[in-house]
Amino acid sequence: MDVDTITKLISNVGFPIFVAVYLLWRMEGVINKMTDAIDAINITIQKCAGPKSGVQ
């Protein structure tokens, strides 16, 4: 993003909305990594619990 694009976004949608969109854009990679980690934990719990424990 260049400076002109950022300035136009701030003037058109307002500063709070711009900050929210910017933070979501920057955090997308972290959110995806956290989702992958939660999925891996779920799989590990299912393997450790076994089929008779009722954990789904």
Q: Tell me the per-residue pLDDT of 32-51, one tens digit each, with 9 for 90 and over.
A: 999 999 999 999 998 998 76
Separation between Cα atoms, residue 55 and residue 46, nearest integer Å: 7
What confidence score (pLDDT) does residue 44 get?
93
Q: Which comes out higher in pLDDT, residue 24 or 55?
A: 24
What confidence score (pLDDT) does residue 7 get?
85
What confidence score (pLDDT) does residue 56 get?
58
**Is the model's pTM score more than 0.85?**
no
Q: Are 18 and 9 in contact (CB under 8 A)?
A: yes
What confidence score (pLDDT) does residue 1 get?
72
Read off the amino acid at residue 22: Y
Q: Work out the burial of residue 27: count CB atoms within 10 Å of its CB; fewer than 13 is exposed, 13-18 middle, 19 or more buried.
A: exposed
